[in-house]
Amino acid sequence: MSLGTWGLSGDAYGPVDEATQERVIRRAIEMGVSLIDTADAYGAGHMERVIGRAIADKRHVVVVTKGGTDRSTSPPQKRFNGPYLRERVEASLRRLAREPIDVYLLHNPSQNIIDNSEAIDTLLELKQEGKIAHWGVSAGDVEVGRAALRRGAEVLELPYNLVYASDLHRLAGDIMVAGAGILARSTLGYGLLSGTWTGEKQFPPGDHRADRWTKFELDLRLEQLGAVRFLVRGDVPTMRSAAIRFVLSNHIVSTAVLGPRTVEQIEDIVREVGMGPFYLTDDDLMRIPRAFQAVGIEQ
């Protein structure tokens, strides 16, 4: 499991004070988390600075950061030209206070950006210069992921969870041939798969989920989630732990990116998930697609 910092930055679910940010990062490392996922756009670079301070003496911690989302404009825009990417890498190096950056990802580019050589050529140059150690793509769909693998991406970040598994499944063969590392994001479906919500769930101001689902859509998803409640039994104490265990059970996945915003949350997650490697039984894993098909979900 790894620590994702979009939510921790305060951008996604409402503000988080800096002291809490540092406590979460330090506690995650204490418990054995050795990869932190971030982006230069999270908190307009602030998250990178906080991470840099927290890991100053911890070279074993792998840092993944992303670039290509320019939030200095309104609305934000995607920028993947060579000079801009080079500028963003240099800024990330200063904020993280380490060189090279362990993994640098293009932040949700289009397939056209991947097929156009400028962005990837720039990353390859930066790798040769020792600014980044590995490069890859945070992909929003299968075609972007496949194009990135064709271009030699060493790492892909993809959405992958109990109710949205199709992209990774469709790319599985390409990934195994390429030998790319896989960061599975949206592991808990923005909190939906925690299993604790009811139809009365309300999202506070500044929380992106307020615009993600209508009341009807949220109610439907909560109802559909009931189809896999059978996973919660024995040493699987919660729906949240079942959802994380599902991701960890896939041997293609290098790490499940999780986004706790408090120390208590990350401690609960580690306690519930356990040590593996038998996260879910083979019988349960085979039963999941059939259970979801019965309620209208095609994984």
Reported as a pLDDT band with limits 50, 70 and 90, residue 267 is very high
Q: Which domains does the chain have, with CATH numbers?
A: 2-196+234-281 (3.20.20.100)
pLDDT tens-digit readout, 82-110 = 999 999 999 999 999 999 999 999 999 99
60: amino acid identity, one letter: H
Between vectors from CA 279 to CA 271 and to CA 189, what angle results, nearest 5°? 75
pLDDT tens-digit readout, 108-145 = 999 999 999 999 999 999 999 999 999 999 999 999 99
List the single range of 38-42, 179-183, 245-249, 293-297 with lowest mean pLDDT: 293-297
pLDDT of residue 32: 94
Reported as a pLDDT band with limits 50, 70 and 90, residue 73 is confident
